[in-house]
Amino acid sequence: MTEVFVVNSGSSSIKYQLVDVETGAALVNGLIERIGESGSPVADHVAGMKLALEALGTGHDIVAVGHRVVHGGTLFTEATVITDRVEKQIEGLSPLAPLHNPANLIGIRAARKALPSVPHVAVFDTAFHRTLPPEAYTYAIDADVASKYAVRRYGFHGTSYKFVSERAAEFLGLPLADTKLIVLHLGNGASACAIDGGRSIDTSMGMTPLQGLVMGTRSGDIDPAILSYLYHEAGMGFDELDTLLNKQSGLLGLTGEGDMRDVQDAATGGDEVAEAALAVYRHRIRHYIGAYFAQLGRLDAVVFTAGVGENSVALREQALAGLEGLGISVDHVRNAAKARDARYISPDGSPVAVLVIPTNEELEIARQAVAVL
Ligand code: ADP
């Protein structure tokens, strides 16, 4: 067994998993929540990490700790062994991901304290998108401003895209180097990625995870002039606008519910507001499928993954409805089949395959941690 402890630290939570890299099995899986909240028994991340390690039990031979880090900027394009210097560099990237990097770093510090003799490795959500060509990562703004402030598209969910694209090529029986995919990672956060020969060539999230698809609480794409309009007309400050777009928009903003299951249940029950929100969600997905088909020039498969993508039969079918002209269609029976593994949901002989591939970010982090050592 090659055991890797995988940590995903949020501002008030620690998600952890003990992974056997050889079999891919999750030996222990857990979540410590409400860290530091008033009345919570877990005072801080150091206490939380102690609880997580206690939950693993004894007798484990952990070879590495893999940490999910959201933003690697242009500095980190590969998984990296964490030193004090690397910690400082991750901290330095915090302005690019103020909601994520500081929280990731608190987890790293707590884990290094708890397991000082084991190597710790940072695996970055942005790293897979290092292959984006300049025309895909450049925003058409003043080049000096962009360069001075590192304003460009970075893209996220990269760990998931790497895992899912490799699995998809294997499942299709195609060499990864010749495979063209559109992967839709639809969770609370959601994004799309055009992957050509295993390389990310375009992705919907941007400098931050706010751009692109409609998400649970994030708006995705908007006209940037809406910000100054609301600043002047509604008297909203920039923190308020930031909160509006990140926490009060998306499905939550449109319907009052941020969880896809609740929105779908409401729509099924005849709620027109919920149905209209789902129509916006699907419209945005189709927008990116069309765009990425054009960027790729040819397409082997559309792949659904993450919470919504793996589980929502209705969303998959409705999002791809009407795309037969592009060679994309969904087989009702295959789509509705209850299964957990990678599977086809397109009919036999379709020009473009449609797949559901469960993601496994923890396993991918564990593999990369071992590989870098
Ligand atoms: P995260 O982005 O936080 O990692 P997940 O990938 O687990 O989250 O996705 C969470 C989302 O998946 C939620 O919006 C949830 O409603 C949705 N989801 C989970 N199961 C289903 C289901 N059976 N039908 C529709 N949506 C689902």
Regarding whether 185 and 119 lie in a shared domain, the answer is no
Q: In this structure, what CATH number is given to the domain that contains residue 224? A: 3.30.420.40
pLDDT at 99: 86
The backbone torsions φ and ψ at residue 226, rounded to the nearest 5 degrees and listed phi first, read -60, -35
Kindly state if the Cβ of 48 falls inside 6 Å of ligand 1. Answer: no
Regarding whether 208 and 103 lie in a shared domain, the answer is no
CA of 351 to the centre of ligand 1 (A): 29
CA of 277 to the centre of ligand 1 (A): 16
pLDDT at 34: 94
Regarding whether 334 and 196 lie in a shared domain, the answer is yes
Regarding whether 62 and 180 lie in a shared domain, the answer is no
- Measured CA to CA, the distance from residue 209 to residue 243 in angstroms comes to 14
72 in a domain, yes or no?
Answer: yes
Contacts of 275 (CB under 8 A, 6+ apart): 267
Kindly state if the Cβ of 250 falls inside 6 Å of ligand 1. Answer: no
Tokens 């039969």 label which residue? 313
135 in a domain, yes or no?
Answer: no
Regarding whether 189 and 276 lie in a shared domain, the answer is yes
pLDDT at 180: 98
Regarding whether 231 and 114 lie in a shared domain, the answer is no
Domain boundary among 92, 107, 124: 124
> Which residues, given as ranges, of the chain have pLDDT below 70?
none
132 in a domain, yes or no?
Answer: no
Phi-psi category of 322—alpha, beta or left, where left has phi over 0 and alpha has psi -120 to 50?
left
pLDDT in tens, 45-70: 999 999 999 999 889 999 999 999 99
105 in a domain, yes or no?
Answer: yes
Regarding whether 113 and 180 lie in a shared domain, the answer is no
Kindly state if the Cβ of 309 falls inside 6 Å of ligand 1. Answer: no
Residue nearest ligand 1's atom 4 by CA: 187
pLDDT at 119: 98
Regarding whether 224 and 317 lie in a shared domain, the answer is yes
Domain range holding 60?
3-124
363 in a domain, yes or no?
Answer: no
178 in a domain, yes or no?
Answer: yes
Regarding whether 191 and 112 lie in a shared domain, the answer is no
Residue nearest ligand 1's atom 19 by CA: 307
- Measured CA to CA, the distance from residue 73 to residue 94 in angstroms comes to 10
Model-wide pTM > 0.95: yes
160 in a domain, yes or no?
Answer: no
Contacts of 78 (CB under 8 A, 6+ apart): 127, 372
Kindly state if the Cβ of 307 falls inside 6 Å of ligand 1. Answer: yes
Kindly state if the Cβ of 332 falls inside 6 Å of ligand 1. Answer: no
Domain boundary among 64, 97, 124: 124
**Based on the structure, what is the number of domains in the chain?**
2
Regarding whether 188 and 54 lie in a shared domain, the answer is no
Kindly state if the Cβ of 216 falls inside 6 Å of ligand 1. Answer: yes
Q: Enumerate the active-site residues.
A: 125
Phi-psi category of 246—alpha, beta or left, where left has phi over 0 and alpha has psi -120 to 50?
alpha
Residue nearest ligand 1's atom 7 by CA: 307
Regarding whether 284 and 191 lie in a shared domain, the answer is yes
144 in a domain, yes or no?
Answer: no
Regarding whether 183 and 65 lie in a shared domain, the answer is no
- Burial environment of residue 199 by CB neighbours within 10 A (0 to 12, 13 to 18, 19 or more): middle
CA of 367 to the centre of ligand 1 (A): 25
